[in-house]
Amino acid sequence: MNVCIPRWIDVEGVKNFRDIGGWPIKDGSGYVRERTVFRSAQLGGITKNGIQTLRHLGITGVFDFRSDIELKDQSMRMPEISGITHYQCPMFKDEDFAPEKKEENLLNFFQGPEGVFKGYRDMLVKAKDQYRKIFLYILEHPDDAIIVHCRMGKDRTGLFFALLLGICGVDDDIIANEFAMTTIGAWEPKKTLEVWAQHLGITFDQAKEGLSAS
């Protein structure tokens, strides 16, 4: 598997930031264009140095899959940055955040492969309109450099990029490996996993597996 550019980019204050360009097309015709579309976790903690990195990369748009409820915490909001437009593309509706519904959705990802499959299948149904908006934006603004993210840059973001790389003609194994890189980029400390496990009534190992992208 060839990677022709540095995959990870250090954007101070932002986890899981990487370029999805540079992956080879499976028919041997070339590579996905580099330094054009990036993925990350939420940008609420970005520092001044991090903002300078975005400017250096030529970022002009940021697409955020999170909903209004998720953005009530001001610390989770990307600061206003001149020259960079924030596009909110909420995948979930307010009712999806009702305690019982939210817990049901979360538990899917802690119940092994079958639960993850169900969670992603349901997510794709909810996401189709927002994914379409971003696909169209990329087609209509081919020279723009953009970031696509959610909270951790894992599930909502990962599914989007699995589809995008598939459309570009990247091999399925490479797409799976790219998805799994989030296990490194969105690493959570043991204490956080213990809190998740206690909240959802699951074991620590289940929480660790559920938050893994591999």
Each residue's pLDDT, cut to its tens digit, for the chain (214 residues) gives 444 457 899 999 999 999 999 999 999 999 999 999 999 999 999 999 999 999 999 999 999 999 988 898 889 999 999 999 999 999 988 777 665 666 666 666 667 778 778 888 988 999 999 999 999 999 999 999 999 999 999 999 999 999 999 999 999 999 999 999 998 887 666 666 665 566 556 666 666 665 555 5
- Chain CA centroid to CA 77, Å: 15
The string of DSSP codes covering 39-94 is EES--TT--HHHHHHHHHHTEEEEEE---TGGG-SGGGSPPPBTTBEEEE---S-G
Superfamily of domain covering 18-210 = Protein tyrosine phosphatase superfamily (3.90.190.10)
pLDDT score for 114: 81
pLDDT score for 1: 44
pTM, to two decimals: 0.84
> What's the one-letter identity of residue 116?
V
| CB-side neighbour CA atoms (13 Å) of 51 | 12
Q: Which two tokens stand for residue 73?
A: 């915490």
pLDDT score for 206: 61
Q: Which two tokens stand for residue 41?
A: 């976790």
DSSP state of 148: E
